Every structure is written in C-alpha cells, then in structure tokens.
Amino acid sequence: MHLMYVLDKDGKRVYTLKKVLNGEVTKSAHPARFSPDDKYSRHRVTLKRRYGLLLTQQPGTSLSLNRRHLQETNKLNSEDERGAVIRDE
C-alpha cells in the first residue's frame, strides 16, 4: 500500500491510498528510485544532443564579460574595509 494522488480541478494534489479514485487512475506520490549505476544515461545524453539541450549547445557568456567580472572581484578583494589597498609583498 503506497501513497497515491490525483490532481483536482485546481491542479492541487489529493492524496489517497487507492489505485483508482472516482474512475481516475492515481499516480504514485513517491519519487523514482535513485541508483548510482545509471543504465540509461547514454540514451538521455543522445536525446539531449538531438534536441539541442546539452549545456555545450547552449549560448554561453562572453569571455570578456567573465574577465571583466574577475578583474572587478579581484579589485574589491584587494581593498580592506577602510578602502586601503592591500598588497602582497
């Protein structure tokens, strides 16, 4: 006996222990089992590559923007609370 649910007219979950509630098949309220031995990762990667969903296929940020951000961060980190510049010597 597992916790099951159906969606009501407002889209909220109604929990039950029944497999069928008012003629509607219920869904499991428990997440899928996790296994570190992922047998299907190759298929997921293939599908993501096919539909252009891999992170390597997404438009990235400009390297100049990243470099500018790093320079500003380093400048902020090199000043103490009083605004004095800290130099490593």
Mean pLDDT throughout 31-59?
Answer: 89
For residue 18, what are the domain limits? 1-30
Residue 75 belongs to a domain: no
Residue 19 belongs to a domain: yes
CATH of the domain at 12: 4.10.80.300
Whether residue 36 contacts residue 25, with contact meaning beta carbons closer than 8 Å, is answered with no
Domain count, the chain: 1
Residue 15 belongs to a domain: yes
Q: Kindly report the pTM of this predicted structure.
A: 0.42
5: its two tokens: 């649910």
State how beta strands 24-25 and 27-28 pair: unpaired
Find tokens 């039950």 and name the residue.
Answer: 16
Question: pLDDT band for position 28 (50/70/90)?
Answer: very high
Question: pLDDT band for position 35 (50/70/90)?
Answer: confident
CA triplet 64, 51, 43: central angle to 5 degrees?
110
Q: Is the pLDDT of residue 16 over 60?
A: yes
Q: According to the model, what pLDDT value does residue 1 have? A: 74
Q: According to the model, what pLDDT value does residue 78 have? A: 59
Q: Put residue 23 in one of left, alpha, beta given phi > 0 → left and psi -120 to 50 → alpha.
A: left
Residue 17 belongs to a domain: yes
Whether residue 22 contacts residue 9, with contact meaning beta carbons closer than 8 Å, is answered with no
Q: According to the model, what pLDDT value does residue 60 have? A: 74
Residue 53 belongs to a domain: no
Q: According to the model, what pLDDT value does residue 89 have? A: 47
Q: Is the pLDDT of residue 79 over 90?
A: no
